[in-house]
Amino acid sequence: MEGGEKRIYDVIIIGGGPAGLTAGLYTSRSRLKTLLIENGLLGGQMTTTEVIENYPGFPEGVTGDELSRLMEEQAKRFGLEVIPEYVVEVKVEGAKKIVKTEEGSYFSQALIVCTGTEYRKLGVPGEKEFAGKGVSYCATCDGAFFQDNQIVVVGGGDSALTEALYLTKFGKAVTIIHRRDALRGTKIYQERVFTHPKINLLWNSVIQEIKGDSTVKSIVVRNVKTGEVTEHPMDGVFLFVGLSPRTQFLRGLVDMDEEGYIITDGNGQTSVKGIFAAGDCRRKLVRQIATAVGDGATAACSTEKYLELKE
């Protein structure tokens, strides 16, 4: 992109998940010159979800790919500009917001942060070494590589349960390992897991090590109550042990909680005037596509009001 004037916008949105795409739809429809920066696939974690059953308007469910495509198409229809770059820093000079990427700098009067979350690492020996060689954080991305294999899923929330159910399409057997004696996921997913003939549960347990040669061959498991350590043959290890916000590039600029989630008011306003946050990167109770969409709309409307009052 040549010429500094082409890098100046009314609004810059960082992150292209459901919150970012919704915010972009609203600001673009309001005829605000808007740039959305996303270094991955538009749609965010939606794109790795096989079937979304709880988003209003799709009684039979919708694939993550399809919902992402529809949101992208709708936002771009009103003139949203999208670039695939990685944001490394945000600076504020007076009312001006400067967004630095690996490719250059972009300028705006307002900023909406919609960077979402990423899967938390387990932090055990073998996890890093076997990433992409049997260790995965996305069942829809990698499940097909484990046809008729032994698969383990670590976690007890919605992500772990839905991904375990999806992996039964491929694996010979799927074992869910959970450090507690009760699951945290939505009841309907628990019911499906408990009644599925291919799924086994290993309670009160944690993975201590992932072992193999060129690929994963086994896992070492410790029972947190008895201390017993056992080794289990395994071909695939899918980890869903929580989420961390993608907000490292904003540390020291806006207020965050101890986990790194951005603190906002009810209108999406952060501690810095003109910087708003929406979606899963924001501190809130519920992280769902529907709430991300609502956040995106709220932050966009707040941004429009902010710009109007500045004039």
State the Cα torsion 230-234-236-240 to the nearest 10°. -20
Catalytic residue among 10, 65, 138, 301: 138
141 is catalytic: yes
Cα–Cα separations (whole angstroms), residue 196 to 58, 184, 199, 208, 235: 25, 18, 6, 27, 20
Catalytic residue among 142, 235, 280, 295: 142
In single-letter form, the type of residue at position 251 comes to R
Residue 138 annotated in active site: yes
The question of whether 142 is a catalytic residue gets the answer yes
Identified catalytic residue from 141, 255, 257, 265: 141
82, 16 in Cβ contact below 8 A?
A: yes
Which residues are designated catalytic? Answer: 138, 141-142
